[in-house]
Structures are given as C-alpha cells and as structure tokens.
Amino acid sequence: MERGKVLVRLNAFLSMCGIASRRKADQLILEGRVKVNGITVREFGWRIDPQKDVVEVDGKPVKPQRYRYIALYKPCCYLTALGKSQDGKKTIQELIKDIPERLYPAGRLDYNAEGLLILTNDGQLANRIMHPRYKLPKTYQVLVKGKVSAKTLESMKRGAYLEDGFAKPVSVRILRYEKDNTLLEIVFTEGRKHIVKRFTAHFGHKVLKLKRTAIGPIKLGKLSPGKWRELSKEEVIALKKAVKMLN
C-alpha cells in the first residue's frame, strides 16, 4: 500500500455517500448494481481508494456527502432508530427529518432513557465512539429508587460482577437526594446493554430515570429535549482527539 493511502470498504463508502446503510449497500453489491472503475463488483469486503477510484450505482457516479456532526437531545419514549418502527413507536428520525444528509447515531439510548446522542455520516468517527477499545467516557445522571448509603457508594466505586462480566464505573457520586430517592452521576467507558440499569440494580437500587449528559468532551448543555445542534469545529477536533483519530 502506498504511504498515506487510505482504503475504505465499499459498503462503508456507499453509506458515506448517503446511498444506503451498510447492510443495504451489501445487497446492492450482491445484485451487481455497483461498479468500481467500470467493473462490476460482487465481493463483500472490497476496498477502494476514495481519492482515486470511481464508484457508480446503477450507472450513476456517487461521491461522499460532506461530513456533519450533530448533537441531539433524545427525549424519553423515542427509539434510537431511523425510519419508522414496526410497532408504531416514535423514532429519532422524526427529530432530524429536516437534515438532508443520511446521518447515523454513534451509539444508542434505551427507549425510556433520554439525553445526548451524537449523529454523523463520518463512519470512522462513529465506529471509534462506539468501540470499547477507545474507552470514551459516557456520563449519566441517574435517579434511583431509595437512598444510596455512603457504604453502598463505596461498593459501587469498586465495581461489581454482572451476569456478563465485571463492571466498574470511571466514577460515581451522589448529586443529591430527592425525597426517598437518589440522583447519581455515573461515568462508564463501556456500552454493554443496560449496563447502568443493571449496575445500580445489583446494589438494590432500581433506575427511575436516566439521562446521558456527556459523551467524551461533548456536553448536552442547555439543549432542549427533541432539539439538535451542529457540533462546533473545536468540539469535533476534541472528539477526534479523544478517540485517537488526531494527536
């Protein structure tokens, strides 16, 4: 490979161009509708040089969209999904329908959870945000049932064995007590399914409300539920540095 040359998978390139999701792009390739430099490609995993190779779908050249980076406040009772849900539940697609580019969520939030989502068409950055290798911290405010004692808090800081392995937060602290319940701030660098809920439940405290307030250096801030904003250039640089895309 030439020095400095970056190859990307063909299905990822088609996704970057807004043609289809990676899975649907694989179907287009299988159907023989995709050409690279005039040659029909039917192989999964084919890699291209976006700077030199000419890619066509159904005979029309395609190019990547400009990258966009969005911070979205997902409200409670929305699915982290694009398009319409089969059971009629609302999805975040309804909240970003005025954005012309095809953006994808870099991570998920449960249906009943709320807070920060990052959406982008920068596939490399999205993958690094989600990949546990890069240990990007995610910060949550969690209202749990009951009063968390100082002893329990110390146990939480040491971590716990869940059914799928050991889980230890980067940090956990009590923000305040709300009547007979406790508002915690918990930071995890991993995204195992329902990890926050399962972690607090292990200590006898059921989650009543969960909100993600930060993903790495990106803060939810004063964003209102259901609203989105563009990440600033400085925020994008800070996020890329956090996942080792920049020095």
pLDDT at 152: 98
**Quick one: which of 190, 196, 219, 188 has its CA closest to 116?**
219
Identity at 232, one-letter amino acid code: S
pLDDT at 44: 81
How are the residues of the chain apportioned to helix, strand and coil, as percentages rounded to the nearest 5? Answer: 25, 30, 45
Domains of the chain, first to last: 8-61 (3.10.290.10), 69-133+218-242 (3.30.70.580), 137-215 (3.30.70.1560)
Q: Is the pTM higher than 0.75? A: yes
Confidence of residue 45 (pLDDT cuts 50, 70, 90): confident
Give the list of residues 6+ apart from residue 151 with CB closer than 8 angstroms, or none: none
What's the CA gap between 112 and 207, in Å, rounded? 11
Confidence of residue 166 (pLDDT cuts 50, 70, 90): very high
What's the CA gap between 27 and 10, in Å, rounded? 12
Cα distances (angstroms) measured from residue 157 to each of 93, 140, 168, 222: 37, 15, 7, 29
- Which residue among the candidates 110, 122, 164, 180 is catalytic per the annotation? 110
What is the DSSP secondary structure assignment for residue 171, as one 8-state letter? Answer: E
Structure tokens belonging to residue 8: 């990307």
Mean of the pLDDT values across residues 50-72? 89
Identity at 168, one-letter amino acid code: K
- The terminus-to-terminus CA distance of the chain in angstroms comes to 23
- The answer to whether the Cα torsion of 45, 20, 110, 106 is positive or negative is positive
Confidence of residue 6 (pLDDT cuts 50, 70, 90): low
Confidence of residue 65 (pLDDT cuts 50, 70, 90): confident
User: pLDDT (tens digit, 9 = 90+) per residue, 85-138?
Assistant: 888 899 999 999 998 888 889 999 999 999 999 999 888 898 899 999 999 999
* CB-side neighbour CA atoms (13 Å) of 88: 0
pLDDT at 122: 85
Q: Is 98 a catalytic residue?
A: no
